[in-house]
Amino acid sequence: MSDKLVVVGNPSLVGHLPEVVIPPDVEAMTPDELEAGIKRLKTERNAVILAHYYQESEIQDLADFVGDSLQLSQAAAKTKADVIVFCGVHFMAETAKILNPDKIVVIPDLKAGCSLADGCPAPVFEKWLEQYPGHTVVTYINCSAGVKALSDVICTSSNAVKIVKALEGQKIVFAPDRYLGAFVAKQANRPDMVKWEGSCIVHETFSEKRLIELMVKNPDAEVIAHPECHEGILRHAAHVASTSGLIDYAKTSPKQTFIVATEAGILHKMQQAAPGKTLIPAPPEDEICACNLCPHMRRNTLEKLYLCMRDLTPQIEVPEAIRVKALKPIERMLEMSV
Ligand code: 13P
Ligand code: SF4
């Protein structure tokens, strides 16, 4: 990969991006050597490693901070490190760069996108918004900087209901996740909320039929779900929350067994938080696929993490004019989340 390669906006819309090539010297390293190298580079570069709960467990274990999208934005907003190493997907690293224009932000694999962000290109979104003058644009953080720049306030799965409730009396457009949008509209009693019809490829694949079969086999289990799931899953859930909210629930609930309807990477920290409890991943439609693993999140590997810290590439860049516009709704979200 070229040292100069940067992507502005949405990886899927930038055309063909090369795969990260792991050089033979890195390929020859053992996991222990990679781990030691990452720890050494962290000190040498005064870097902080931020990781999402959907990353591979060995990446989560090396991170300085593991969290949900809101917690990761909050951690990025207050870090004193010179380099932010973002183990997550592109929009998360891009948010960190918007908050820290003077810091270097690297991501192990620039091609780690997100189906929600990919399904809402900024120029199309801008045109679509013309139909809704006078509406407050509430946008889920899973979107590009260009879409954030067109928004009034950003939200995540952990604060979306709170933010929409705070906008009482205002007409609202919600994008880009239709399932989160439907959940929020119900919780905040805003059936009039206009929704962009995007979805997450991972949460969309959970099967209601197979979930019911699993519930019958495990009658004492409680279903817990991420609000990106469709209604067929959410209607069975005892608790619906962000990734960190689901972990907290599994830890504090008196129940012993949970069927967990979100990306399976969450089980690593959830099991640590709730030792001794039984965690069963919710089943996708197709019995043999690994559809409950996000293919974008899984692009990041230990080798790519080591490489991006060694070479300080690929870096996230955001054009200043877009960054300044995108910063405002992110800051508004951070203010509304305290
Ligand atoms: P959280 O903010 O709940 O961690 O969700 C992020 C995400 O991408 C879920 O698919
Ligand atoms: Fe995007 Fe879905 Fe992956 Fe989350 S799990 S990053 S919403 S594709």
Q: Write the pLDDT tens digit of every residue in 219-267.
A: 999 999 999 999 999 999 999 999 999 999 999 999 999 999 999 999 9
pLDDT at position 13 over 70: no
pLDDT at position 305 over 90: yes
In short, whether 177's Cβ falls inside 6 Å of ligand 1 is no
> Which one of 89, 204, 242 would you pick to mutate in the ligand 2 pocket, going by the greatest count of ligand atoms within 8 A of its CB?
89
- Token representation of residue 193: 């909320």
> Which residue's CA lies nearest to atom 2 of ligand 2?
200
Q: For 166, left (φ over 0), alpha (ψ -120 to 50), or beta?
A: alpha
Note whether 4-115+296-318 and 203-281 share their fold. Answer: yes
Distances (CA, A) of 140 to 180, 296, 301: 9, 18, 26
CATH 3.40.50.10800 corresponds to the domain 117-195: yes
Q: Where along the chain do its domains lie?
A: 4-115+296-318, 117-195, 203-281
* CATH numeric code, 203-281: 3.40.50.10800
In short, whether 69's Cβ falls inside 6 Å of ligand 1 is yes
Q: Residues with Cβ < 8 Å from 310, sequence gap 6 or more?
A: 37, 41
CB-based contact 211:223 (threshold 8 Å): yes
Cα four-point dihedral sign 278, 279, 284, 286: negative
Domain covering 4-115+296-318, topology? Rossmann fold (3.40.50)
pLDDT score recorded for residue 182? 98
**What's this model's pTM, rounded to 2 decimal places?**
0.95
